[in-house]
Amino acid sequence: MDRIVFHVDLDSFYTSVEVREHPELRGKPVIVGADPKGGKGRGVVMAASYEARAQGVKAGMPISLAWRKLPDAVYKRPNYELYGTVSENVMSTLREFADKFEQASIDEAYLDVTAKTTWGVVRDYALAVKMRVREREGLTCSLGAAPNKSTAKIAATQQKPDGLTIVPPDQVKSFLATLPVNAISGVGEKTERVLAELGIRTIGDLAAYPGAELTKVLGRNAVWLWGIAAGIEELPVEERPDPKSISVERTFEHDVTDWSVILETLDSVADNVYIRARNAGMAYRLVGIKIRFEGFRTHTRDRTLPTWTLDRQIVLDTARELVAEFKGRERPVRMLGVRVANLQTPKGRQASLPG
Ligand SMILES: [Mg+2]
> CATH number of the domain that 65 lies in?
3.40.1170.60
- What dihedral angle (degrees, nearest 10) is formed by the CA atoms of 236, 242, 245, 246? 80
Out of 18, 51, 102, 108, the active site residue is 108
266 domain residue, yes or no:
yes
Distance between CA atoms of 305 and 287, rounded to whole angstroms?
8
Confidence band, pLDDT 50/70/90 cuts, at residue 348: low
- Identify whether 108 is a catalytic site residue: yes
Q: What is the DSSP track for 85-116?
A: HHHHHHHHHHHTT-SEEEEEETTEEEEE-TTT
Average pLDDT over the chain, rounded to an integer: 91
Distance 297 CA to ligand 1 centre (A): 29
Q: How many independent structural domains does the chain possess?
A: 3
Parallel, antiparallel, or unpaired for β 284-293 and 333-341? antiparallel
Per-residue pLDDT, 276: 87
Per-residue pLDDT, 355: 36
| Mean pLDDT confidence for 27-44 | 93
Cβ atoms 282, 344 nearer than 8 A: yes
Distance 82 CA to ligand 1 centre (A): 16
Q: Does one domain contain both 254 and 200?
A: no
Across the strands, what pairs with 144? Answer: 7, 165
Confidence band, pLDDT 50/70/90 cuts, at residue 116: very high
Distance 99 CA to ligand 1 centre (A): 22
| Mean pLDDT confidence for 12-19 | 96
Residue 298 reports pLDDT greater than 70: yes
| Mean pLDDT confidence for 26-43 | 93
Which residue, of 188, 218, 237, is where some domain finishes?
237
256 domain residue, yes or no:
yes
Strands (E), 130-193: 141-146, 164-166
Parallel, antiparallel, or unpaired for β 5-10 and 141-146? antiparallel
Distance between CA atoms of 355 and 130, rounded to whole angstroms?
46
pLDDT tens per residue, range 229-255: 999 999 999 987 777 889 888 888 788
pLDDT tens per residue, range 267-283: 999 999 998 898 888 99
Which residue, of 187, 218, 237, is where some domain finishes?
237
102 domain residue, yes or no:
no
Distance 331 CA to ligand 1 centre (A): 32
CA-to-CA separations, 267 to 13, 170, 280, in angstroms, rounded: 20, 47, 20
Q: Does one domain contain both 213 and 269?
A: no
pLDDT tens per residue, range 46-104: 999 999 999 999 998 999 999 999 999 999 999 888 888 888 889 989 999 999 999 99
CA angle, corner 201, sides to 157 and 336, nearest 5?
A: 60
| Mean pLDDT confidence for 219-225 | 88
% of the chain residues with pLDDT over 70: 97
Which residues span the domain enclosing 40? 14-78
Per-residue pLDDT, 47: 94
Per-residue pLDDT, 349: 52
